[in-house]
Each structure stands twice: as structure tokens, then as C-alpha cells.
Amino acid sequence: MKDFWKRFSQNRGAVVGLVILLLVVVLSIVAPFIYTKSPWAMVQRPFIPPFTMDAFVLGTDPMGRDLAAGLAHGARVSLLVGLVSTVVSLLIGIPIGAIAGYFGGWVDDLLMRFTEFFQSVPSFALAVVLVAIFQPSIYSIVISIAVVSWPPVARLLRGEVMSLRSREFVEAAVLSGQTHSTIIWRQILPNTLSPIIVLASMMVAAAILIESSLSFLGLGDRNIMSWGYIIGAGRTVIRQAWWVSFFPGLAILLTVLALNLVGEGLNDALNPRLARKGR
């Protein structure tokens, strides 16, 4: 663990990313306490530019809503959707990849054709179709992000498991009479943990981007304030009020950037041999 932090902190970008990420997490937690009013409430006249009124640092949108309040509340949605949809896609991808890689043969063929199919479908378009048909809601958004994001997990895991499967320690486990499930749980999966963690951090980032894109297209949950939605709402007034679109976009950029940086840091810390070669 000590080694882990030492290696992680050697990557300066990763530390910066971690700090940004923690700030966003804190923001999402304290948002309801600072901005007690609903972010949808009209609190002032519309189109107040940023940094002109102390009460509304980031100004107001075309409906007179406090942009800063929207941003703070949106943070929680972004993080939550990113996290939950990643967990769901791991729950789909890991078993499929592990089973395909471990058993091989026709099981592998079947599962990989299935995965390939999902990979050759344009993922964002599929997400749009899914959300549109099942009606936009936080659930349909999470599910459709998960549905389009699991194939890389399955492929990664299949590759890892296949290479571990032929390692001698797994063969030794077979010879020592361990059952398939013991071998998968004790011998194989623990060794796939680091690449999964690294991939997961990048997937949270990607999920946040997809969620914001869906909301931007008007496919967000109508009851939840999200960053993508604010940008979409500001799009038509971009000429008069650039700030409405600018700040939430910056928030997305920083959060996603932070997650990617943390992911790289994790990669360095968890795969020291690879990392040393890579720098």
C-alpha cells in the first residue's frame, strides 16, 4: 500500500487529477447544503453575466436560474451516473469476458460474436435510440450507457484470462484438484484486478461524457439538473450568453480530465513494470 502511494504520487498529473476529483466529489456532497433551493428555481433576472453579482458568481441562464447552483447540483448527477453505469457495465463485461477466456472453444466463440456485435454498433447512436425508446429517465440513461460500454471490459478480461489461463500457476491449480470456480476466483480474477481498476476509472470518465451528450440532445432526465442539459439549454443563446454553455463544459472537461489522470496514475502504481517501461 505504501509502495502504491509512492508510485502513484510520482505521477504529478495523477496527483493533480486526484485533487480536482476530490474537489468535485466534495462539491457534489455539499451542493444541497450551500444551494438549498432547487437549481430549477428562478432566482434573478435572466442573462446576468458572470462575476458581476456576488450572490450569483457565474451569472444566470435565460430562465433566470443560478448557474452556480446548477453546476453544483449537476456534479452529483454526473458522478453518480458515471459511477453506477460503470459498475453495471463491469457486472456485464467481467462475467462474459471471464467465461469466454476461461472456457474457450465454442463458449468463447459465441460470447465473442455477441460482444463483437455490440462493438460494431455505433455506441452513441445505440445509447440515443435506447434512451429515446425507453423514455428518458435516470434509469434508462444508466442502463443504456452500461449497455454500450461493457464490450471493452469483456474483451480486456477475456484477453487477461486467456493469458493467465495458460500460465503455469493456473495449470498447477488444475493439477492440484481445484475446481473451476476456485481457480477463477482465487487464481485468475485477483490477477486481473489492476487492469480492471485502471479501465474502470477511464470508463467513469467516458460515461460522464456520454451522459452529458445525451442530456445535451434533450435526452436527460427531466427532473434532474445536469451539466449536459445546461449546455444544451444555453446552445440557442450562445451569442448573447456564452457563459451558460461555457462553465458547465469546463466542469465536464475538468472532471473527465481528472478521472483520466487518476487512471494513468493508477496504471503506474498498479503495473509498476509496465509503467517504468512506459515513461
Partner 1 sequence: MADTIDTNAVTSDETAAAVIHPGALKEEGRGEPVVHIDRLSIALPDGADRPYAVDRVSFKLFPGEMLCVVGESGSGKSMSANALMGLLPDTVRVAQGRILLGATDLITMPADALYAIRGRRVAMIFQEPMSALNPLMKVSAQIEEVFEAHGLLTPKERRQKALSLLTEVGLPDPPRAADSYPFQLSGGQRQRVMIAMALALEPEVLIADEPTTALDVTTQAQILKLIARLQKERNMAVMFITHDFGVVAEIADYVTVMQLGRIVEQGTAEEVLFSPQHPYTKKLIAAIPRPGEGLARVDAREPLLAVEKLSKIYRMGGGLFSKAREVHAVKDVSFTLGRGETLGIVGESGSGKSSVGRCLVRLQDPESGRVLLGGQDMAHLKGEELRAMRRRMQMIFQDPYSSLNPREKVGRIIASGPIAYGENEKKALARAAELMEMVGLDPKGTNRFPHEFSGGQRQRIGIARALALEPEIIIADEAVSALDVSIQAQVLELLGQLKKDLNLSVVFITHDLRVAAKICDRVMVMQKGEVVELGTGSEIFDTPRHPYTKSLIEAIPGRAKEALMTA
Partner 2 sequence: MLRFISGRLLKAVVILICITVLNFFLIHAAPGDPAAVMAGEAGDADPAFLQQLRERFGLDKPLYVQLWIYVSSVVQLDLGYSYRQQLPVLQLIGERLPATLLLSLSAFVISLGLGVAAGAFASARQGKWADTIISLVALIFYATPLFWLALMGVLLFSVQLGWLPGFGYETVGANYTGLARALDIFLHLILPAMTLGLFFMAVYARMTRASMLEVGRLDFVKTAKAKGLRPGVIQHRHVLRNALLPVVTLAGLQAGQLVGGAVLIETVFAWPGIGRLMFDALSQRDYNLLLGVFVVSAAMVLLFNLITDVLYRLVDPRIKVAS
- Given the rule CB under 8 A, which of 86-94, 95-103, 178-186, 236-244 is the region that contacts partner 2? 236-244
Q: Which has the closest alpha carbon to 263: 251, 252, 273, 275? A: 275
| Minimum gap (Å) between residue 257 Cβ and partner 2 | 4
DSSP of 113-153, one letter per residue?
HHHHHHHHS-HHHHHHHHHHHT-S-HHHHHHHHHHHHHHHH
User: Residue 91: which of partner 1, partner 2, none does it interact with, CB under 5 to 8 A by kind?
Assistant: none
**Closer to partner 2 by Cβ: residue 97 or 184:** 97
Here's the x/- map for partner 2, 160-189, by CB under 8 A: it reads as ------------------------------
Q: What is the DSSP letter of 185?
A: I
User: Residue 3: which of partner 1, partner 2, none does it interact with, CB under 5 to 8 A by kind?
Assistant: none
| Minimum gap (Å) between residue 5 Cβ and partner 1 | 17
Q: Which has the closest alpha carbon to 232: 224, 58, 219? A: 219
**Closer to partner 2 by Cβ: residue 39 or 234:** 234
230: its cell numbers: 445546461
Region 166-205 residues binding partner 1, contact defined as CB under 8 A = 167-179, 182, 186-187, 190-191
Beta-carbon contacts of 35 under 8 Å, excluding residues fewer than 6 positions away, are 66, 68, 69, 72, 73
Here's the x/- map for partner 2, 123-142, by CB under 8 A: it reads as xxxxxxxx-xxxx-------
DSSP of 25-68, one letter per residue?
HHHHHHHHHHS-S-TTSB-S-S-PPTTS-STTTT-B-TT-BBHH
Q: What is the DSSP letter of 269?
A: H
User: Is residue 67 near partner 2 by the rule CB under 8 A?
Assistant: no
Residue ranges in contact with partner 1 by CB under 8 A: 167-179, 182, 186-187, 190-191
